Amino acid sequence: MSDSSAQTINQSSPGGQFRPNLVLVHEDSLRDAATGEILSRLSGVETKIVRNHSDEAEAHSKDTLFLTRHKGKFLKPCQGGGAEMCCNYYIAGYAWNCRFDCSYCVLQGYLTNPALIVATNIEDYMDEIGGALRALPNRVFRIGTGELADSLALDAITRYTKRVVPFFAALPNGVLELKTKSVEIANLEGLNHGGHTVVSWSLNSKKIRASEEKLSATIDGRLAAAAQCAKWGYRLGFHFDPLVYYPGWEEDYREIVRELFSVINPENIAWISLGALRFTPRLGEAIRRRHPESRLPYGEFVPGHHGKLRYFRPLREEMYRKMFDWIRNESRSVFVYLCMESRLVWERCLSDGTRDKEHLSDMLDSRVLQNP
């Protein structure tokens, strides 16, 4: 697919390119080259220079793009822990908030600023990651950018993947994962990724996508974009998270598994994760307030780790076992893992022989790097 074809996917599908109604620029960001580059792609959009992030940005909406310097650390360990089988994942985002506004999104539970925030000091981002990885050359770092924002939803504006993907290709012990619900892939074509970038899509049933992920790309669009990235040599990831229980869920999710493997060659898949719907009481309140049509908060839940509400363990295990069996019917080799679950649930639901979190981390590393 050429650039023009990739752009056609982006513009003709939900979850495609974004253009803000207003751009706020913190005065400190005016010295960053990225600021000028981003603004040059937004000709005609109203732009304001501001001094105070909280006073200005919080008054606006998700149609507002806020350009600012990030003054804290970029690289942080994933918050999975406790009784969960943590996979030793790291988070390093350069954007905050998401324009897709999915009903269950964790961001609405603790981010009060609706504006889409982008860090303009991208050089500091790469310097920090490069320094951390070079300091521990014998340790593999799997790093994702998609915890606090969609990894690709703003890429047509920032074009940060054109910097970050080749940067990771030069890091022998670095793996970058770009997680998205978009079809914003045009900038990935022709990049020297060196096999160090995994492009991942969140997947759900088409019913849940239509009711709870309305502004995101369609499932068919996501799979088409994934197939194109495979042609460009990228390894792929897929995350069925959150799995949602409702009458008829079995056939709906079974259909998506069939469709996934009808479009994607299993040899191109680095991993597939499974995770059941979970949310804090505060997030449940936000869903009821901001998405009153959603039925997600009204199921039967019990308190779990970190104070999150989740389905009863037998119900989660039923969903995991069925999903795992459906995936195994399509491929015997694709690596499947669980997100935010205990070792007990792993042992009851998966038959892959994963022993502990260290073994899990090694298995995931080996799915991308040949000699981690």
- Give pLDDT, residue 372: 44
CA distance 199 to 194: 13
Among the listed residues 32, 19, 20, 23, the one whose alpha carbon sits nearest the alpha carbon of residue 50 = 23
Neighbouring residues of 327: CB distance < 8 A, sequence distance ≥ 6: 257, 272, 334, 336
Residue appearing with tokens 């320094």: 131
Neighbouring residues of 229: CB distance < 8 A, sequence distance ≥ 6: 185, 188, 199, 236
Dump pLDDT digits (tens) for 266-298. Answer: 999 999 999 999 998 989 999 999 999 999 999
- Give pLDDT, residue 85: 78
CA distance 99 to 93: 16
Structure token digits, residue 71: 């003054």
Indicate the domain borders of the chain.
3-366
Confidence of residue 56 (pLDDT cuts 50, 70, 90): low
The pLDDT of 258-269, averaged and rounded, is: 98
Neighbouring residues of 309: CB distance < 8 A, sequence distance ≥ 6: 278, 279, 280, 281, 284, 301, 302, 303
Confidence of residue 59 (pLDDT cuts 50, 70, 90): low
* Strand extents, DSSP E, the chain: 22-26, 46-50, 64-68, 76-77, 89-91, 95-96, 116-119, 141-144, 174-180, 197-203, 235-243, 269-276, 278-279, 302-303, 309-310, 336-338
Cβ(313)–Cβ(341) below 8 Å: no
Structure token digits, residue 270: 């680095």
H/E element, 220: helix 219-231
CA distance 142 to 289: 36
- Give pLDDT, residue 3: 35
Mean pLDDT across the chain: 90
pLDDT exceeds 90 at position 310: yes
pLDDT exceeds 60 at position 9: no
Q: Coil, strand or helix: which one is 284?
A: helix
- CATH of region 3-366: 3.80.30.30
